[in-house]
Amino acid sequence: MKILQRLRDEGRGQDMAALLAEIPFAGFLGIDVDIKGSELTTIMPFKYDLVGNERLPAIHGGVIGAFLEISSVVQLLFDTSCERLPKTVDISIDYLRSGKPMETYGRAIVTRQGRRVANVRAEIWQEERTRPIALAHGHYLLTPA
């Protein structure tokens, strides 16, 4: 992907906010990143457009799944030297509780990385990190630099 190469050429290879700005759906969701040392946290602000169940209101399950997947991909790009965006081989999502109309946070951990495939676990939460609203485990195809 030319975006990643351009960011590397500009000396911003680890600028995940600039990368997210280039991904249209991440922009629609309003996802941002907070990096402190080697810890990366994704942040999705609440927008009423993201509500799936207006009676509760609750964030749409597809938005939750997309946020988990984007959090995983951003963590992979932060940890590796991929030439292109990792491609999802498969992902399983555990929905634990409703996403309330508030800011949502995400973290991912690369649990195993080979030359071509990486395994990533991700979690998202709102009020307390110890009470996640959803978890994901995914396998991603990598293209090394």
Tens-binned pLDDT, residue by residue, of the chain (145 aa): 576 667 777 766 677 888 888 888 999 999 999 999 888 999 999 999 999 988 889 999 999 999 999 999 999 988 887 778 899 999 999 999 999 999 999 999 999 999 899 999 999 999 999 999 999 999 999 976 5
Half-sphere exposure of 52 (CA within 13 A, CB side): 11
Specify whether the CB–CB gap between 17 and 34 falls below 8 A.
no
Residue indicated by tokens 């030359």: 115
Domain assignment of residue 117, given as a range? 2-141
Q: What pLDDT does residue 143 have?
A: 77
Domains in the chain, number: 1
Q: What pLDDT does residue 13 have?
A: 62
Residue 19 is encoded by which pair of tokens? 């990368």
Residue 100 is encoded by which pair of tokens? 């309330």
Residue-wise DSSP of 17-31: HHHHHT-HHHHHHT-
- The 3-state DSSP class for residue 125 equals strand
Q: What is the mean pLDDT of the chain?
A: 90
Distance CA 72, CA 134 (A): 13
Which residues have a Cβ under 8 Å from the Cβ of 79 and sit 6 or more positions away? 110, 113
Q: What pLDDT does residue 127 have?
A: 94
Whole-prediction pTM: 0.90
Tally Cβ neighbours within 10 Å of residue 90. 8
CATH number of the domain within which 83 lies? 3.10.129.10
Tally Cβ neighbours within 10 Å of residue 2. 9
Element (H, E) at 44: strand 39-44
Distance CA 87, CA 51 (A): 27
